[in-house]
């Protein structure tokens, strides 16, 4: 399986850092190659231009930006979804990883 690039977006890019760590740990335990990173909503455009993103997950605090991001990735085949609030709050890396992989079709 080729490396998957999973982008998380939150308000400041910091509240998702622990979630990214837990998702990376879950990916490693499963033998998945994954580049999982978090950006603030302000920095997201730069990453979308410079990285080959497979899926974009929004933190619950920026769910209102979903349509904006869907427009930004239109035609690129990048699924956009909001992270489940309970999984986000519980920092459930494996569940959020599962959701990302499901959106990619893995």
Global pTM? 0.94
Tally of structural domains, the chain: 1
- pLDDT at residue 48, as a whole number: 94
Separation between Cα atoms, residue 1 and residue 65, nearest integer Å: 31
> What is the percentage of the chain residues whose pLDDT exceeds 70?
96
Separation between Cα atoms, residue 22 and residue 69, nearest integer Å: 24
Q: Residue 40 is part of a domain; what is its CATH number?
A: 3.40.50.2300
- Whether 38 contacts 16, CB under 8 Å: yes
| Domain around 32 | 4-104
Q: Which residues are catalytic?
A: 10
Kindly report, residue by residue over 5-60, the tens digit of the pLDDT. Answer: 999 999 886 778 899 999 999 999 999 999 999 999 999 999 999 999 999 999 99
- pLDDT at residue 12, as a whole number: 81
- pLDDT at residue 1, as a whole number: 53
Q: Which helix (H) or strand (E) is 47 found in, with range?
A: helix 44-50
């Amino acid at each position: 399986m080729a490396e998957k690039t999973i982008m998380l977006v939150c308000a400041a890019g910091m509240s998702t850092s622990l979630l990214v760590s837990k998702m990376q740990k879950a990916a490693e335990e499963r033998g998945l190659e994954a580049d999982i990173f978090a950006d603030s909503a302000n920095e997201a455009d730069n990453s979308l231009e410079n990285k080959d993103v497979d899926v974009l997950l929004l933190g619950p605090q920026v769910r209102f930006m979903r349509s904006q991001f869907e427009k930004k990735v239109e035609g690129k085949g990048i699924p956009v979804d909001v992270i489940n609030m309970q999984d986000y709050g519980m920092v459930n890396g494996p569940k959020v990883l599962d959701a990302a992989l499901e959106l990619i079709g893995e």
